[in-house]
Structure 1
Amino acid sequence: MDIAVIIPLFNGAKWIRQTLESVFSQSHLPREVVVVDDGSTDKSLEILQDFPHVKLLRSPDKGGPAARNFGLQQTTAPLVAFLDQDDIWHPDHLRLLSGLLCQYPQYPAAVAMMLSFEDNLVFPHPVLDEYPLDFWSTFPRNSIGGPSPILIRRTALDSIGGWPTKFSTSAFYAWLRLSANHPFMQNRSFTVGYRQHDQSHSYRLRKQCSFYDEQIEALEDALPYRIMAQPQEEKELRKRLDTWFILSDLLKAIVNCDYTLLEKYALILEDNLSDFSTEFSESLCQSLVFWNLVPVWRYDSLQQQQQLIETLLEHWPKKAERTRQIIRSLTQQIAPRKAFIKYLLHRPFSWKRWIVFSEIIFNLSPTPNP
């Protein structure tokens, strides 16, 4: 099936060449490659001149969501992929995902797995290992992340009115809406490289407390669509959303160094989580520390993240024993694995090393990306 690739661009001269090279190295080449510029002032547009098959568009509105939607309107291929300007694909990424959508016509989208990297990335050999992914099973967490790992049917996007532009957390909202009636098909193979740096859009957004208020608005807006399709899930999903409200208030207290409120909301969170599984409770605390607080406090290194956990424990109420223990365990369980993963990614390829690597990945709950 034909594919359109849409890439929003804003001052991406550091990364756009490598990103486009990964697109034109695909074993299943896209029919359309569109770059939507959002007012770049660096040398991004000069770099595009080296790619004559790229169609350059100028976005009439500002922001990544508007650029994606404008690109969608200017393309016609039945399958659509949205690639961020700083991410890359394995050469078989589009072939594997488009094959899944051909094989499973009832699924609205196919999803790959992502590897985080900073400079260089060596992908493990990809294989086809598909399974249904119910995005709502991890609600209100985002188990996919940004747009780069997903290939979507245009008909599915049309059914929700195109790429959402209402929220800055547009990808999160899009996944909620697209999967309200039917799960995605995920290929359990790493074919997307997610570049980590402090200039990324999500990193900058997460430094703003208003981001979390908008995220809650997106969750509240999407929830009725799921309840309409699966009314039996309403009670559970609303309980989970209530927990996210508490987490948002707790986050603001931590950011503002209001330790009285921190203690208050930590105790409320502890009580609320008593009704949930250990897995859900652990994923929520991981989200609080690694996804929410790291950008706000600029604690990017493993040593700084351990310092962040120690600071939380210093002020975390001892009565909130369950959540306190979960946060303490993050230092012992998450940070060493992240360090080992980074070590493996920068070592020469060997099958034994990647087998160990895969075991670590699949035994490690993914850091959520709201």
Structure 2
Amino acid sequence: MKAGGLQISVVVPVYNHGKYLAEALESVLAQTWAPWEIIVIDSSTDDTADTARRFLPRIRYLFSDRNGLGDARNRGVEAARGDAVAHLDADDVWLPDKLAVQAEALTARRELELVGGYVESFFSPDLPEEARARIHCPAESLPGLSASALMVRRAVYDRVGPYETHWRLGADLNWLLRVRDAGLETFIVPQVVVRRRLHAENTGLRDREFVRERVLVLKQAMDRRRKAKGGETEPGGEA
């Protein structure tokens, strides 16, 4: 492992995904750029804690009695002691050089605040064939700033603020739109950095819920930008 100058805090929020957590953590430990620390924020009601404890003392394990994703990300950021933060959802898997290529980008370009990468989707082996037929799995990797593909300078959270916790599924999108509003420099490394797992718990109903929240998040962002430019928000809109 390369222990680079940039100290990276890895935050892994998990809620009842114990069966996937070990693979996620193993992908962090296999990084060619060694993370400064690995923080697991567990809000689970299943046996996830048993899986997490197998990785002690290589991880910091924190239990939270709140199960919102925004809350978990915020607690991880608050606990982070590194120069940069990289989130990994417990059902996703990093490629071995994910941290290296992004840390090198942040080190080489001081103006960069956030670095994303390409995301490759895959069907979880435990997803039945009949369910796979109803789910779209992109054949090609896609660029983006999704949480598991992202690396953020720690100071960005002081400037943009924490994740808003009232969103059930839209906290990440809301936070990224606030990053855009702040005019921060972002960059997408031109390679796959994470594999996104498609399984029964993150498809179907959750996708429909996300679409509904996405509309509300985008409307809020439009109202916020309109207000910043001196215009008036629409009736019922939030600034």
Indicate whether the TM-score tops 0.5.
yes
2:48 to 44, 48, 51: 44
Query: What corresponds to 1:275 in structure 2?
Result: none
Q: 2:24 touches 2:92 (CA, 8 Å); kept in 1?
A: yes
167 and 119 in structure 1: CA distance in 2 versus 1, 3 angstrom threshold: closer
Query: What corresponds to 1:79 in structure 2?
Result: 84
Deviation at residue 215 of structure 1 after TM alignment: 2.2
221 and 35 in structure 1: CA distance in 2 versus 1, 3 angstrom threshold: same
State how far apart, in whole Å, the 2-side matches of 1:34 and 1:196 are.
24
**Which secondary structure does the structure 2 equivalent of 1:11 belong to?**
coil
**Which secondary structure does the structure 2 equivalent of 1:77 belong to?**
coil
State how far apart, in whole Å, the 2-side matches of 1:182 and 1:222 are.
16
57 and 20 in structure 1: CA distance in 2 versus 1, 3 angstrom threshold: same
State how far apart, in whole Å, the 1-side matches of 2:176 and 2:76 are.
18
Q: TM-score, normalised by structure 1?
A: 0.52
Q: For each residue in 1:308-327, what CA deviation from the matched residue of structure 2 results, as whole angstroms up to 9, or x when unmatched?
A: xxxxxxxxxxxxxxxxxxxx
**Which secondary structure does the structure 2 equivalent of 1:14 belong to?**
helix
Q: 1:79 touches 1:152 (CA, 8 Å); kept in 2?
A: yes
115 and 213 in structure 1: CA distance in 2 versus 1, 3 angstrom threshold: closer
Query: What corresponds to 2:197 in structure 1?
Result: 195
State how far apart, in whole Å, the 2-side matches of 1:21 and 1:68 are.
20
228 and 157 in structure 1: CA distance in 2 versus 1, 3 angstrom threshold: farther
Q: Give runs of aligned pairs for residues 113-192 of structure 1, distance below 5 A.
A: 113-119=118-124, 144=144, 146-168=146-168, 169-180=170-181, 181-192=183-194
Deviation at residue 48 of structure 1 after TM alignment: 1.5
Larger radius of gyration: 1
Query: What corresponds to 2:21 in structure 1?
Result: 16
Query: What corresponds to 2:136 in structure 1?
Result: none
State how far apart, in whole Å, the 2-side matches of 1:79 and 1:154 are.
5
Deviation at residue 72 of structure 1 after TM alignment: 1.0
Amino acid at match of 1:187: V
70 and 166 in structure 1: CA distance in 2 versus 1, 3 angstrom threshold: same
> What RMSD, in angstroms, separates the aligned Cα atoms of the two structures?
2.5
Query: What corresponds to 1:206 in structure 2?
Result: 207
Query: What corresponds to 2:214 in structure 1?
Result: 215
Q: 1:115 touches 1:190 (CA, 8 Å); kept in 2?
A: yes
Give the number of aligned pairs: 207
Q: TM-score, normalised by structure 2?
A: 0.78
State how far apart, in whole Å, the 2-side matches of 1:62 and 1:11 are.
10
Deviation at residue 184 of structure 1 after TM alignment: 1.1
Amino acid at match of 2:176: W
Q: 2:20 touches 2:91 (CA, 8 Å); kept in 1?
A: yes
Amino acid at match of 1:221: Q
Gaps of 5+ in 1: 121-141, 235-370
Q: Does 1:70 align with 2:75?
A: yes
**Which secondary structure does the structure 2 equivalent of 1:116 belong to?**
strand
Percent of paired sites with the same residue: 25
Deviates most, 15-24 or 101-110: 101-110
Q: Which has the higher contact order (CA 8 A, sep 6+)?
A: 2
State how far apart, in whole Å, the 1-side matches of 2:204 and 2:158 are.
29
State how far apart, in whole Å, the 1-side matches of 2:158 and 2:176 are.
14
Amino acid at match of 1:157: Y
Deviation at residue 143 of structure 1 after TM alignment: 6.6
227 and 152 in structure 1: CA distance in 2 versus 1, 3 angstrom threshold: farther
Q: For each residue in 1:154-187, what CA deviation from the matched residue of structure 2 results, as whole angstroms up to 9, or x when unmatched?
A: 1112212123323221111111111221341110
Q: For each residue in 1:341-368, what CA deviation from the matched residue of structure 2 results, as whole angstroms up to 9, or x when unmatched?
A: xxxxxxxxxxxxxxxxxxxxxxxxxxxx
Deviation at residue 222 of structure 1 after TM alignment: 2.4
**Which secondary structure does the structure 2 equivalent of 1:8 belong to?**
strand
Amino acid at match of 1:216: V
State how far apart, in whole Å, the 2-side matches of 1:203 and 1:4 are.
32
89 and 167 in structure 1: CA distance in 2 versus 1, 3 angstrom threshold: same
The structure that is strand-richer by fraction is 2
**Which secondary structure does the structure 2 equivalent of 1:15 belong to?**
helix
